[in-house]
Amino acid sequence: MALLQISEPGQAPDPHQRRIAVGIDLGTTHSLVAAVRHGVAECLPDAQGRVLLPSVVRYMEGQRRLVGFDARAFQAEDAAHTVASAKRFMGRRLADLQGAAQLPYEFVDQAGMLAVRTRQGLKTAVEVSAEILATLRQRAEDSFDDELFGAVITVPAYFDDAQRQATKDAAQLAGLNVLRLINEPTAAAVAYGLDHGSEGLYAVYDLGGGTFDVSLLRLTQGVFEVVATGGDAALGGDDFDQLLAAWALQQSGCSAVSAQDKGALQMAARRTREALTDHAVATLHCPLDAGDLRLEVTREQLEALTCPLLERTLAALRKVLRDARVQRGDVLGVVMVGGATRMPAVRRAVGDFFGTDGHVRVLTDVNPDEVVALGAAIQAHALAGNAKDGQLLLLDVIPLSLGIETMGGLVERIVERNTTIPVAKAQEFTTYQDGQTAMAIHVLQGERELVADCRSLARFELRGIPPMAAGVARIRVSFQVDADGLLSVSAVETGSGVQASVVVKPSYGLADDQVAQMLRDGFAHAQDDMRLRALREARVDADRLLLATQSALAADGELLSDADRRSIGALMDRLRELSAGEDHDAINAAAEALAKGTEEFAAARMNRGIRDALAGRSIEDV
């Protein structure tokens, strides 16, 4: 079982090397960081013992910022410069945003992604989120008194490519090494599955502050297979609050015009909604510019008001069951995730949906605020090579179909939704005009037929096609979605070999040079010397690579010819030598050279591993 020897995550190349890996739930309302300590996943508290970090950043005079509770305290008073729920703006344009007028911010629609105008200039959701992530990173490093090896960051299953990429950009800005983006419902199931040792089909109903996800997972001996996923990336507890706030204004005849009023009212609405979880009646009280708003609200009133929102979640649930081609009765349990699932009406509706005979368990015993971060921590622990049994494996799917624009503004789907990732698919297209030498490729995500109804992810051009009659050129467009759910696209004219490709990124989020610019601007590292930081990172990466190569040589060195072995040895020596110096670019280049130089070796080891894993099975007995 050579493959197990080389791949067993339980065996880090160097057992003495501690690898601290955390799970981060970057939430709409609040965020958390968790880690596995002494074999148990736990959320890491701040200095005051609080595990939740409100996802709020306040931009003050000078270059000062407040993050978390300190920022939230000013949400009413300094609403325009105190950015909350930034997750809802991730990878979005202004046109995507519902209810923007209700929010106390001045939005600016920039190329790619909208920004909020603050006294420190324009801030995108990526920058706001990076502040939150950097705060959590600091918290984790303080807890362990050590640097982090990496983090698993959770995203709503229904996040599209733009939103996922934006999340990864934010992590990069915060100086985090992203081990993997995983879907929130999947993380929740991991936290539950390991505790309960469950097998079978489970649903995860995740109603967070700003997003709603539903996923169907099959658990089999440590493999978490997402069968189907769906939801609504713009539906959450915030929407319940907004409905309640609007209703309260209407009932009382008050108006909230200023940013401060809007901010205060939204917070008052949330407090009232939360109070109605345990009480039948609550008072919504909010000081406004024109006087106090005071209104008694019953739980029945809230439930009647928000019933349409709940119905939207159930429609998504029905759709996911149909996508998976399973019946309600096949589901063994429903994991409830997200603070908004504390609402009695939500639990009741989900329970009723699956039938009241008690066949389906509604699982609420892990704190719904923490469960996602805990699951992410377990996965991070395994990915960092710390888990003793490397049996946990997540097989996730792509939530929305991917395709390209064809004639007439129609979308030709190339990768269907709910396809297991990683995945690669190619399709052939042709030219429609005689002598056509270029082809524009427009990449889209969504389920609708028309380009206008789908999200545009990227545009690029394949140029230099040799002139041919219409319909003769063979243009092969390949989509590749990696295990984080991120897409890259390439196109090639198969006759001439002319190529073009794009990592789907620049048309929305931040181009690499923009990220680099922000890093240079001292984002989140104002006191850090960037050059020293880069050098330290380059050395850590080099050490990691050298260790991995060494252990690979020890395990499977006999696969190499003497000449190959010598050339790998030379590359390793070169990297060691440069690592002792000060030039981080040179270290990175030597590391890249070693990585390239060992690629064939890695392929040979993988092939042998697979062969060995299957050895002893003939076609007849499998």
Q: Residue 168 catalytic?
A: no
Residue of 64, 28, 436 whose CA lies nearest to 207: 28
Tokens standing for 202? 């489970």
Q: What is the CA radius of gyration of the chain?
A: 26
Judge whether 319 counts as a catalytic residue: no
| Region near other proteins per CB under 8 A, out of 184-192, 243-251, 281-289, 388-396 | 388-396
Tokens found for residue 405: 């624009």
Q: Kind and range of the H or E element at 42?
A: strand 40-43
Between residues 94 and 393, which has the closer beta carbon with respect to other proteins? 393
Binding mask 418-437 for other proteins (x = CB under 8 A): -xxxxxx-------------
276 lies in the binding site for other proteins (CB under 8 A): no
Strand, helix or coil at 350?
helix
Q: Is 60 in the site for other proteins (CB under 8 A)?
A: no
- Six token digits for residue 503: 């990592």
By the rule CB under 8 A, 100 interacts with other proteins = no
- Helical spans, DSSP H, in 359-431: 371-383
Region binding other proteins by CB under 8 A among candidate stretches 84-92, 191-199, 286-294, 381-389: 381-389
Q: How many CB atoms lie within 10 A of CB 622?
A: 6
- State which of residues 245, 383, 538, 587 lies at the interface with other proteins (CB under 8 A): 383
Q: Which one of 78, 131, 160, 184 is the catalytic residue?
A: 184
Please tell me which residue in 206, 241, 369, 484 is annotated as part of the active site.
206
274 part of the interface to other proteins, by CB under 8 A:
no
Query: In whole angstroms, what is the distance from residue 271 CA to residue 283 CA?
Result: 9
Q: Could you say which residues in the range 121-180 bind other proteins, by CB under 8 A?
A: 179-180
Task: For other proteins, give the closer residue by CB, 225 or 303.
Answer: 225
Among 384, 477, 486, 553, which residue interacts with other proteins (rule: CB under 8 A)?
A: 384
Q: How many CA atoms lie within 13 A of 290 on its CB side?
A: 11
617 lines the binding site for other proteins (CB under 8 A): yes
Q: Does 385 bind other proteins (CB under 8 A)?
A: yes
Binding other proteins by CB under 8 A: which of 393, 555, 559, 593? 393
Phi/psi for 197 (5° steps) reads 55, 35
Give the 3-state secondary structure of residue 13.
coil
Partner residues linked to 493 by β-bridges = 475
Closest CB to other proteins among residues 139, 584: 584
As measured in angstroms, the least distance from the Cβ of 574 to other proteins is 16
Q: Pick the catalytic residue: 25, 131, 160, 370? A: 25
The residue length of the chain stands at 622
Q: Which of 108, 281, 290, 315 binds other proteins (CB under 8 A)?
A: 315
**337: alpha, beta or left? (left if phi > 0; alpha if psi -120 to 50):** beta
Using CB under 8 A, which residues numbered 574 to 613 contact other proteins?
595-596, 598-599, 602-603, 606-607, 609-611, 613
Residue from 42, 482, 537, 564 touching other proteins (CB under 8 A): that is: 482
Question: How far is Cα of residue 549 from the mean position of the Cα atoms in its chain?
Answer: 30
Is residue 395 part of the contact set for other proteins (CB under 8 A)?
A: yes
Minimum gap (Å) between residue 385 Cβ and other proteins: 4
Q: Which stretch binds other proteins (CB under 8 A): 72-80, 168-176, 318-326, 570-578?
A: 318-326
**Taking the complex as a whole, how short is the minimal distance between the CB of residue 325 and other proteins, in angstroms?**
10
Least distance to other proteins from the beta carbon of 214, Å? 14
From the list 27, 39, 48, 31, the residue with the least C-alpha distance to 142 is: 48
Q: How far is the CB of 240 from other proteins (least distance, A)?
A: 20
446-449, Cβ contacts within 8 angstroms, sequence gap of 24 or more = 446/160, 446/400, 446/401, 446/411, 447/400, 447/401, 447/417, 448/411, 449/410, 449/411
The residue among 148 and 276 lying less far from other proteins, judged by its C-beta, is 148
Tokens matching residue 463: 């140029």
d(CA 458, CA 460): 7
Write out the two tokens for 489: 């696209």
Active-site annotation holds for 142: no
Binding residues with other proteins: total (CB under 8 A)? 56
Find the catalytic residue in 46, 87, 168, 241. Answer: 87
206 is catalytic: yes
Q: What is the DSSP letter of 427?
A: E
| Candidate residues 477, 548, 553, 571; the one interacting with other proteins per rule CB under 8 A | 548
Q: How many CB atoms lie within 10 A of CB 581?
A: 11
Residue type, 389: D
Cβ neighbours around 532 below 10 Å, total: 11
Task: Give the integer Cα–Cα distance in Å for 571 and 592.
Answer: 10
* DSSP 8-class letter at 586: H
Question: Which residues are marked as active site?
Answer: 25, 87, 184, 206
Residues within the interface to other proteins (CB under 8 A): 3, 6-7, 9, 12-13, 19, 179-180, 220-221, 223, 225, 315, 318-319, 322, 382-385, 390-391, 393-395, 419-424, 480, 482-483, 544-545, 548-549, 552, 595-596, 598-599, 602-603, 606-607, 609-611, 613-614, 617, 619, 622
